A and B are shown apart, each in its own frame.
Chain A
Amino acid sequence: MARIEFKDVSKTYPDGTRAIVDLNLVVEDGELLCLLGPSGCGKSSTIRVLAGLETFSDGMILADNNRIDHLPPQARDCAMIFENYALYPHLTAFENIAMPLRARRLPAAEIKARVTKIARILRMEHLMGRRPSRLSGGEKQRVGIGRALVREPAMFLMDEPLGHLEAYLRVELRAEIRKLQERLGITTIYVTHDQEEAAAIADRIVVMSAGRLQQVGSFLDLFDRPVNRFVAEFVGEPPMVFLPVERTNADSIAVKGVRIPLSEPLRAALRTTQDRELILGIRPNDFSLGPPVRDHLNGTVTLVQPQGDHAIVAVSTPAGPATAIVPSDRRPAPGATVGLTFAGERLHLFDSAARALNKGEGDG
Chain B
Amino acid sequence: MTVGLVRNKDLKAGVRRSAAAWPIGTLRYLVAAIFTGFCLFPFYVIVTTALKTETAIFAWPPVWNFKPTLQSFYNALFVFGGRSAISYLINSVIISAVSTFLAVVLGAMAAYGFARFSFAGKRHLAFWILSTRFAPPVAFIVPIYLMVQKAGMLDSHIALILIYTAMNLSLVIWILRGFFSEIPIEIEEAALVDGYSRLQIFWRVALPLVRPGIVSTAILSAIFSWNEFLYAMVLTQSKAATLPVYLAGFSNSMGLAWGEYMAVGTMAVLPILVFTFALQKHLVRGLTFGAVK
Residue of A whose beta carbon sits closest to that of B290? A133
B139 at the A/B interface (Cβ < 8 Å)?
A: no
Q: At the interface with chain A, which of B80-88, B187-195, B219-227?
A: B187-195
Most buried by A among B186, B194, B287, B290: B194
A90-B190 contact, Cβ under 8 Å, with A74-B196, A103-B196 = no
Q: Give chain B nearest CB distance to A66 CB in angstroms.
A: 18
Q: Give chain B nearest CB distance to A180 CB in angstroms.
A: 18
Taking a contact as CB atoms under 8 Å apart, the answer to whether A74 and B193 are in contact is yes
A53-B293 contact, Cβ under 8 Å, with A86-B186, A88-B205, A90-B208 = no
- 14 extra interchain contacts, Cβ-Cβ under 8 A, other than A53-B193, A86-B190, A90-B287? A51-B193, A72-B197, A74-B194, A80-B190, A80-B193, A85-B292, A86-B187, A87-B190, A87-B292, A88-B191, A90-B209, A99-B191, A100-B194, A131-B290
B interface residues, how many (CB within 8 angstroms): 23
Instruction: Tell me which residues across on chain B come within 8 A of A100, comparing CB atoms.
Output: 194-195
Instruction: Tell me which residues across on chain B come within 8 A of A131, comparing CB atoms.
Output: 290
User: In the complex the two chains form, what is the Cα distance from A51 to B189 in whole Å?
Assistant: 10
Taking a contact as CB atoms under 8 Å apart, the answer to whether A104 and B290 are in contact is no
A88-B193 contact, Cβ under 8 Å, with A82-B186, A103-B200 = no
B140 at the A/B interface (Cβ < 8 Å)?
A: no
Taking a contact as CB atoms under 8 Å apart, the answer to whether A103 and B195 are in contact is yes
A265 at the A/B interface (Cβ < 8 Å)?
A: no
A107 at the A/B interface (Cβ < 8 Å)?
A: no
Q: Give chain B nearest CB distance to A136 CB in angstroms.
A: 10
B237 at the A/B interface (Cβ < 8 Å)?
A: no
A132 at the A/B interface (Cβ < 8 Å)?
A: yes
Taking a contact as CB atoms under 8 Å apart, the answer to whether A89 and B287 are in contact is yes
Taking a contact as CB atoms under 8 Å apart, the answer to whether A85 and B191 are in contact is no
Instruction: Tell me which residues across on chain B come within 8 A of A181, comparing CB atoms.
Output: none
A78 at the A/B interface (Cβ < 8 Å)?
A: yes
B184 at the A/B interface (Cβ < 8 Å)?
A: yes
CB-CB contacts of A64-104 with B at 8 A, as 1s and 0s?
00000000111010111011111111100000000110011
Instruction: Tell me which residues across on chain B come within 8 A of A86, comparing CB atoms.
Output: 184, 186-187, 189-190, 291-292
Q: Which residue of B195, B209, B288, B293 contacts A164 across the interface (Cβ within 8 Å)?
A: B293
Residue of A whose beta carbon sits closest to that of B183? A89
A244 at the A/B interface (Cβ < 8 Å)?
A: no
Instruction: Tell me which residues across on chain A come within 8 A of B287, comparing CB atoms.
Output: 89-90
Q: Give chain A nearest CB distance to B184 CB in angstroms.
A: 7
User: In the complex the two chains form, what is the Cα distance from A99 to B187 in whole Å?
Assistant: 12
Instruction: Tell me which residues across on chain B come within 8 A of A344, comparing CB atoms.
Output: none
Instruction: Tell me which residues across on chain B come within 8 A of A82, comparing CB atoms.
Output: 186, 189-190, 292
Q: Which residue of A52, A89, A147 contacts B194 across the interface (Cβ within 8 Å)?
A: A147
Taking a contact as CB atoms under 8 Å apart, the answer to whether B189 and A85 are in contact is no
Taking a contact as CB atoms under 8 Å apart, the answer to whether A89 and B209 are in contact is yes
Q: Which residue of A51, A52, A84, A134 contacts B184 across the interface (Cβ within 8 Å)?
A: A84
Q: Sorted from nearest, which 10 A-B pairs have the closest CB atoms?
A: A133-B290, A103-B195, A86-B186, A89-B291, A84-B292, A73-B192, A86-B190, A100-B194, A84-B293, A90-B208
Taking a contact as CB atoms under 8 Å apart, the answer to whether A74 and B195 are in contact is yes
User: In the complex the two chains form, what is the Cα distance from A122 to B292 in whole Å?
Assistant: 20
A99-B194 contact, Cβ under 8 Å, with A88-B187, A90-B208 = yes
Instruction: Tell me which residues across on chain B come within 8 A of A132, comparing CB atoms.
Output: 290-291
User: In the complex the two chains form, what is the Cα distance from A83 to B186 in whole Å?
Assistant: 9
Taking a contact as CB atoms under 8 Å apart, the answer to whether B190 and A74 are in contact is no
Residue of A whose beta carbon sits closest to that of B189? A53
Instruction: Tell me which residues across on chain B come within 8 A of A185, comparing CB atoms.
Output: none
B289 at the A/B interface (Cβ < 8 Å)?
A: yes
Q: Give chain B nearest CB distance to A90 CB in angstroms.
A: 5
Q: Give chain A nearest CB distance to B43 CB in angstroms.
A: 37
Taking a contact as CB atoms under 8 Å apart, the answer to whether B192 and A89 are in contact is no
Instruction: Tell me which residues across on chain A come within 8 A of B208, comparing CB atoms.
Output: 90
CB contacts under 8 Å to B, within A113-152, are 131-135, 137, 147
Q: Give chain B nearest CB distance to A95 CB in angstroms.
A: 11
Q: Give chain B nearest CB distance to A46 CB in angstroms.
A: 15
- Complex A-B: 8 CB contacts under 8 Å: A53-B189, A79-B193, A80-B193, A86-B291, A88-B291, A89-B209, A147-B194, A157-B193
Instruction: Tell me which residues across on chain A come within 8 A of B290, comparing CB atoms.
Output: 89, 131-135
CB contacts under 8 Å to A, within B192-218, are 192-197, 200, 205, 208-209
Residue of B whose beta carbon sits closest to that of A79? B193
A137-B193 contact, Cβ under 8 Å, with A86-B187, A89-B187, A89-B288 = no
Q: Which residue of B184, B193, B291, B292 contacts A78 across the interface (Cβ within 8 Å)?
A: B193
CB-CB contacts of A291-304 with B at 8 A, as 1s and 0s?
00000000000000
CB contacts under 8 Å to A, within B252-293, are 287-293
CB-CB contacts of A36-57 with B at 8 A, as 1s and 0s?
0000000000000001110000
Instruction: Tell me which residues across on chain B come within 8 A of A52, comparing CB atoms.
Output: 192-193
User: In the complex the two chains form, what is the Cα distance from A52 to B197 in whole Å?
Assistant: 13
CB contacts under 8 Å to B, within A254-295, are none
Q: Which residue of B187, B192, B205, B292 contacts A74 across the interface (Cβ within 8 Å)?
A: B192
Instruction: Tell me which residues across on chain B come within 8 A of A84, comparing CB atoms.
Output: 184, 186, 292-293
Taking a contact as CB atoms under 8 Å apart, the answer to whether A104 and B195 are in contact is yes
